[in-house]
A and B are shown apart, each in its own frame.
Chain A
């Protein structure tokens, strides 16, 4: 009899346990699905946690309107293939409602997603949102709970988070409050890729090496798109790149890479000397506490 449980199996079992706790204790969950690799893994685990039952909750995408076409296409194909209900919260709708300032079609909208997200939560009465955030990503996230309590304004207060002991989660809350639940808390970037390989999870094409027009900005490779045109004096060049993380076009940079398969990506990730967010997140560089501030406002 085989009695060994590998570290990936342990993480998988932990994530499934967390997902089932939410379904067992909360009324109206939804799963935040950006089309990125972490949310693809999360959705895969949610389906496994409840199979052969159909996913009893929708996936929610907060759409800035400035996404990569490949990611939107992937999102739509995925929900179609899995028979999952998709709810979309559009930042443009928040702009039309005047809850987000209209800074023009080309201004970055990444930061405004928090407002749209909180509006979507209120409109749909969601009481728990699964997110794919991992503790290894960033130091504000290193202190995050599996069940992260948000007050009725959607705010995260690091001082008021509940202690989490063993795997006993406290899902009690008052009316109007909700939880962000992070089943992948203990996974690292490498774990995610190994699991994608093991489970053959589909991903948007931009995770794999492709040719793209880019400019070099603050030593990052930024794709030249409608929303991120080349600035004056910047040299546009064609380069072989891929994405290590997928946010929208305004906040995500590419990395130079020829990795074409999951196994090549794993080899590259295992030897990478730059952190995932450090390499690819244009927005995190603003200040050391950028993520901490955004989390307090209700960001993912």
Chain B
């Protein structure tokens, strides 16, 4: 059975919590004690129906302050797939949350209210999904019951959104008319919208083809640990390199090159969690054994001699700023990329991207919380990276403030700068 990671974007007003509650409820992933708890709460609040939105209700700290702190994770399974939902709050100030929740997602679910159609927030969410290269986007046009299940309303929203999405990089787009409150087209096909010929949402989530989203072409193996049992007699000669495959298919017998040293050698064995295997693919965590005894350490990169990542101390990237204290051009930050640590300085802010209008402000001097921009960086050591659009693992990095240790930015590498 496959695992699908999805992120949801939209505000409470769009019925996002109700939709998630409905998915969990109709797929029978809600336990009786959890249901009883929300029935009690719904009753005491005077709701007319069991408020499924309460299933995703957060912490007391959030209720007291009327805020949503950040991403909450939910789990459900059907006989065909298992699902992880990263539920991200959709308010304007929370670009940070969506970026966090969507960073590992295969699919993003954007929800709009059928009465309001595509609004600024919808465009922002679609732009972020495109920036983060989430391979599949589903737009749920919710509250169709409040527009009398009219096909015309749906078609207008559909064409509006398609026009906008055409300007972005969204490889796979599906648009579904639903009513989360009544369950129309969520798990079961709607009896009110017979004009809709596509799949209900859950069916789509079960069937969307995700196996091709992995990069199986470029072999990338960031070395995480050197595994060398020194004290153990029976394994004294064992030396292996632990890591998670970030790209390509690595096979026993492959000729490989280790960066930064540039030594060429051969893969003599691959040990998976269950024992030796013949080949490894993303996202497997394995140990690779090599023919030659080389000086390899954490942060090195194993790849094929004729397919190497970019290598350099200078890179261009899109940065999403995640901290209260804004970006300072020229300040030094700690950088983490794959298993490699470096220090980095933003040497130039090329532009700030207005996530609502896609306008590029080339006069901008800083990035504040939730802002996105294109920057040039210089690192203390070379990074071995791919463009984020080619590989989300070897193309991503984070920046950390060296004084507070807070993660301040998410970075997505672009093609190397022309120096």
Residues on A lying within 8 angstroms of B by beta carbon are 1, 3-7, 9-14, 16-17, 20-21, 23-24, 45, 48-54, 135-136, 139-140, 142-143, 158-159, 161-170, 172-174, 185-186, 188, 190-191, 272-275, 278-279, 288-289, 292
Contact = CB atoms under 8 A, between A and B. Distances in A.
Contacts of B405: 170, 172-174
Interface stretch (B45-53, B69-77, B111-119, B310-318): B69-77
A237 B31 CA distance: 28
A136, A166, A170: most-surrounded residue (chain B CB, <10 A): A166
A46 to B, nearest CB: 11
B262 interface: no
14 contacts: A6-B2, A10-B3, A11-B3, A16-B273, A24-B339, A45-B273, A50-B227, A51-B227, A54-B229, A140-B59, A161-B70, A165-B410, A170-B398, A292-B59
A214 to B, nearest CB: 20
Contact of B33 (A5, A172, A278): A278
Interface residues of B, number: 71
B232 A17 contact: no
Nearest to B37: A288
The main secondary structure of chain B at its interface with chain A is mixed
Contacts of A172: 334, 400, 402, 405
Contacts of B1: 6-7
A34 B72 CA distance: 26
A136 B232 contact: no
B72 A142 contact: yes
Contact of A158 (B61, B100, B103): B61
A12, A17, A168: most-surrounded residue (chain B CB, <10 A): A168
A126 B115 CA distance: 55
A142 B104 CA distance: 16
Nearest to B228: A53
A116 B99 CA distance: 38
B31 A143 contact: no
Contacts of A136: 74-75
Contacts of B211: 3-4
B279 A20 contact: no
Q: Which 9 A-B pairs have the closest CB atoms?
A: A278-B33, A7-B3, A16-B285, A275-B31, A172-B405, A289-B60, A13-B285, A165-B103, A52-B235
Contacts of B84: 186
Nearest to A189: B75
B213 to A, nearest CB: 12
B90 interface: no
Contact of B59 (A3, A24, A143): A143
A158 B69 contact: yes
Given A7-B1, A12-B285, A186-B84, 5 more contacts: A14-B283, A20-B225, A52-B227, A143-B69, A143-B70
A270 to B, nearest CB: 9
Contacts of A13: 244, 273, 283-285
Contacts of A4: 2, 211
Contact of A288 (B60, B71, B398): B60
A165 B3 contact: no
Contacts of A166: 103-104, 392-393, 396
A163 B70 contact: yes
B357 interface: no
A3 B216 contact: yes
B224 interface: yes
B77 to A, nearest CB: 7
B154 interface: no
Given A13-B284, A170-B398, A278-B31, A163 B322 contact: yes
B227 A139 contact: no
